[in-house]
Amino acid sequence: MKIKTKICGLRTPEAVDCAVEAGAAMVGFVFFPPSPRAISVAEAKALTARVPDGVKKVALTVNADDALLAEIVENAGVDVLQLHGNEPPERVFEVRHTYNLPVVKALPVEDQVDLMVARGYDAVVDYFLFDAKPPAHATRPGGNAVAFEWSLLKGFSLAKPWLLAGGLTPENVAEAVAISGAHWVDVSSGVEDAPGVKNLDKIRAFIGALDPK
């Protein structure tokens, strides 16, 4: 099975074009000001306009209120919402049905108990994203270049598909997939030269590591 990739935290036309041309199935845009990858809705609109049909455009938010979500949905040109905060299942259900868009729910993982939390969301999401728990005093819940024990996911089954995230790089993503059994992977910091600064060669190398020619 071909492994599908989401390149997240895109901020420039060059990075968007590179991700699409390299074969990303999803491209992600961050709407969370503490992140060095955050962009405005207007900036996102210009970037999503470059993305062809068939590539999903994902808006990453963290505990966003209805006003921000409405602005994103109406004006940013995205077609998937990623909830990367501590949104409970009830809030996820509300968001999914209010805005009528597929939802990715990100959940932090450190041990097997954390995976069990996903069971409570199975009926209200379209995708899960499993990320490492952020370090102490981190200012954001993801994009921290931290990995968790990939073997925790081996054989773990859910009704909905899931993405593996956290500390992935062009050098380790093939191993991460082999160990975890992931069919989807998500990367942000692992294809950067500095926080928020994407390296186009690393984007190509990351996707190429999963689909060697």
Largest alpha-carbon pair distance within the chain? Answer: 45
Span 2-8, mean pLDDT? 96
Q: Is the pLDDT confidence value at 140 over 70?
A: no
Out of 131, 186, 201, 211, pick the active-site residue. Answer: 131
Out of 8, 53, 79, 186, pick the active-site residue. Answer: 8
Q: What whole-number distance in Å separates Cα of residue 4 and Cα of residue 44?
A: 22
Kindly list the distances between the CA atom of residue 213 and the CA atoms of 149, 205, 206, in Å, as whole numbers in the listed order.
29, 12, 13
H or E segment to which residue 72 belongs:
helix 66-75
pLDDT of residue 24: 98
| Closest of 82, 84, 78 to residue 96, by C-alpha | 82
Is 18 catalytic? The answer is no
Average pLDDT, rounded, for the chain: 93
Which tops the pLDDT comparison, 149 or 135?
149
Percentages (nearest 5) of helix, strand, coil residues in the chain: 35, 20, 45
| Closest of 62, 52, 67, 40 to residue 16, by C-alpha | 52
Measured in whole angstroms, the distance separating CA 21 from the mean position of its chain's CA atoms is: 18
pLDDT of residue 205: 98
pLDDT of residue 211: 79
| Closest of 123, 82, 131 to residue 102, by C-alpha | 82
pLDDT of residue 147: 84
Q: Is the pLDDT confidence value at 143 over 60?
A: no
pLDDT of residue 102: 98
Is 131 catalytic? The answer is yes
Q: pTM for this one?
A: 0.92
The confidence band for 213, taking pLDDT boundaries of 50, 70 and 90, is: low
Q: Is the pLDDT confidence value at 1 over 80?
A: no
> What is 4-210's CATH superfamily?
Aldolase class I (3.20.20.70)
The pLDDT tens digits for 151-173 are: 999 988 888 999 999 999 999 99
